[in-house]
Chains A and B, each alone.
Chain A
Amino acid sequence: MAVIQATKISKTFYNPSESRAVKTLDDVSFSADKDEFVVLLGPSGCGKSTFLNILAGLTSHDRDGGKVTVHGRTVLAPQPDLIAYMFQDSILYPWRTVIKNVELGLETRAMSRAERRERAFKYLDLVGLRAYADHYPRQISGGMAQRVALCRSLALETEIILMDEPFGALDEQTRATLGSELASICRELKRTVVFVTHSLAEAAFLGDRIAVFSAQPGRIKIDIKNNLPRPRVMGSPEFRNFVDELWLHLQDAKQQAGAAPDRQGSPLGAT
């Protein structure tokens, strides 16, 4: 059963300095089932992050009949009790200690101070950062900061977590470690995850299902089930085959975009 559903979503950005419209997303329909880990894979600038922001209610979509629903409820604004969002940057508040950052999203809820603290510690334990609870963000590494951001999202205990290239700013090694940590956490905690990335390996490693985006305008070109058994092994032959398959789809998506005349302009509104 679909937990989150998007029907016929389009998004047009207006570039006031050139007074022209750029269609970033065109009629995208998508759904994710309960406890499913779906990856949105695509080249940069294909609109996959914009799409994720629309799912989160952070960005509005075009008013042309398309809509996003969670359990049938229409999403027009952030829904912190249903959806947690994780950004590419950790965005920790530098004036708060690690634990206070994890508690941030819980402070608007009817919880006692002790309950909040307990919940925050539970997730810090999960990523092994209890010892750093009283450190300031300046004092921890980028990988640790992103783990704290993960805790902040998990601590909301929402059914859905949306992740926008959450490991994109990290070095390759940290990225792989955090990826496998995330895979095991998700197996344990049962959450519905929509995960944006442009990394084939990350997509193959994490996703139950992978939606491949094509660019200009952004569309879902193909939706593939990932039948690799878990726990997955990054270098195994099946894994490599699957990555190759994804790569072909991605190349296709790029060629289609390249073949179409570039009348839409850059989605970033190059100036």
Chain B
Amino acid sequence: MSAASSSATRTVIAIRLACGVLALLAWDLSLRLGLIDPLFLATPLQTFQALPKTAVASLPHIAVSFLSFFQALALGVGAAVVVGYLVNTSTYASRMFMPIFQAGVTLPKVTLLPVLVLWLGIEKTTIITYGALSAFFPMIVNVAAAMQEVKPNQITLARSLGLSRAAIMRKAVIPAMLPVLASGLFYACNAAMMGVFIVELAVARVGVGAYVHDLAVTFRTPELYAAVVLTSLMTIAINLAIWYAARHLSKWRTVDI
């Protein structure tokens, strides 16, 4: 049993390594075989060499982007929690409003960007507003789903044990909602990052999006790839941390029987 599972683990690791090596190889070979003009693509080695310099140069941009991102996320998630809670306390209101919010997740909100720029200017406000708008819809859908997780009899039990309203919230309502809320946060986080980068790429002068755009149009290719790799790794790290935290929080739902 343990021998079989350890050999399976080895296969899993081998496949992951192979994927990484293949990706790097494809990247490198596409240049060496002349498939892509080196003006547009830097080799992995060049990218790696450009990393330290780019990291230093992009630091202020990363700081700006992440500040916008956190503000957008807080605003979008906060609004989604409040509105989601209010709308879902009544079945009627939930049936009336939730289809709109559900549709909002996949509707192309990006087309609103010119209007936001028209109203709010090329400012931080535009970035935060669009990021918050992006985070709002996936979060509110998950708030609604999380509220479905709270079972009425769990509340009755808490009442029979004499728990106060605050204690019921802390010991019954929030623990039941937490796994779904956490996975909602994963989607909201992803959407907010996407939203911030879109606006930065499209109109801003500072921020990671603007920096990457600048590197691309001036063909500073190795730096461009280094900056993209750097940003990708950071955003992936944040999002995966939330994903695995959400999975840890829902351990009780998936524990082996």
Contacts and interface: CB of A to CB of B under 8 A. Distances in A.
Interface stretch (B55-63, B81-89, B169-177): B169-177
A91 B157 contact: yes
B10 interface: no
B161 A139 contact: no
A81 B256 contact: no
B255 interface: yes
A259 to B, nearest CB: 35
B154 A91 contact: yes
Given A91-B154, A136-B255, A78 B159 contact: yes
A177 interface: no
Given A87-B153, A108-B167, A95 B252 contact: yes
B257 interface: yes
A268 B176 CA distance: 29
Contact of A91 (B153, B162, B164, B176): B153
Contact of B162 (A79, A96, A138): A79
Interface of B is mostly: helix
A245 interface: no
A139 B175 CA distance: 19
B159 A95 contact: no
A56 interface: yes
Interface string A74-90: 00001111001101010
Contact of A93 (B159, B167, B175, B253): B175
A138 B255 contact: yes
A70 interface: no
A114 to B, nearest CB: 20
A104 B167 CA distance: 11
Interface in B29-48: none
Interface in A88-125: 89, 91, 93-96, 104-105, 107-108
Interface in B144-162: 153-154, 156-157, 159-162
For A78, A84, A89, which residue has the most chain B Cβ atoms within 10 angstroms? A78
Interface of A: 56, 58, 78-81, 84-85, 87, 89, 91, 93-96, 104-105, 107-108, 136, 138-139, 156
Given A78-B159, A95-B175, 10 more contacts: A78-B162, A80-B160, A84-B160, A87-B156, A91-B157, A93-B172, A105-B161, A105-B162, A108-B161, A138-B255
Interface of B: 153-154, 156-157, 159-164, 167, 171-172, 175-176, 178, 252-253, 255-257
